[in-house]
Amino acid sequence: MLDYERSLSLDFEESSYIEKDGYTVRDVSYLSPHGGKVPAYLVVPKTDGPFPAVVFMHPGQGNRTTFLAEAEALALKGIVSLLIAAPALRNDYPNDLSEEQMLNLMVETITNIGQYTQTVIDIQRGVDLLCSLENIDINRLAYIGHSLGATWGGVLAGVEERIKSYVLMAGFSSVSEWHKTSEHPLATLIRAKLSREQFNKFISELEPLDAIHYINKATPASLLFQFVHDDEFVPKHQADTFYSVASSPKEISWYKTDHLFTSCDSAYQERTKWIIKQLGLNNN
């Protein structure tokens, strides 16, 4: 389900760029094997390469700008960043939908299995893009994903050998279990909207993609898990399972904040320091 054709043209395009003090933010896109273009930001230092690189994937509540400030800070330390927009954000929806129509559309989007496999494959194509650039050190690649980005980053870690280090923030070890058991309003809405047959089909297609089937195959890549106490989405047992089944080397940290790590400077500082160390750079 996660195979993709690397021989396809990247069809890499740059639509605009912004010059900043020490780096450039480029608005780019590349071809998705599932069709259409993958919008992304490519943040490139102005110093000489070759550069290590980080791929970012935002939470479901975010977009490709979510980690932009973080990527800009990394650029000043000599790191390229690629910030990708998830497939669900690439659709143009009508503005005049009723609340009920919006809810139905949201449920349809969340239960679309194709978007999840596409997320993983589009990230792999992003790695292809980075590896095609002359100023990238392909032996020093890392990944940072949050929520949606961490859940599917856990799958990515089991199938993508070129990425050497992963930071996974508040991800699900088993998103299928969450859909079956969570009392979160979003989970209960989906169960209410789908017929039993539709829901069972969704779960049967989703279960093989749970991160627990992949994260144990991440070695030799290093893993840093960041979780939140009393997370409204990710229960502690899911976090514990994600870490316990993961291959080594691995580390885990817990924080007192919300699911989105709002104003959690300690989590930001820790993952930045960890990524810089993993990429073999000076933390100063």
Q: What is the pLDDT of residue 106?
A: 82
Q: Which CATH architecture has domain 13-278?
A: 3-Layer(aba) Sandwich (3.40)
List of the chain residues with pLDDT < 50: none
B/e letters for 143-166, b = 16+ CB within 10 Å, e = fewer, are: bbbbbbbbbbbbbbbbebeebbbb
Encode pLDDT of 226-253 as tens digits. Answer: 999 999 999 999 999 999 999 999 999 9
User: Distance (Å, rounded) from C-alpha 92 to C-alpha 183?
Assistant: 30
**Residue 12 pLDDT:** 86
pLDDT tens-digit readout, 9-22:
678 888 899 999 99
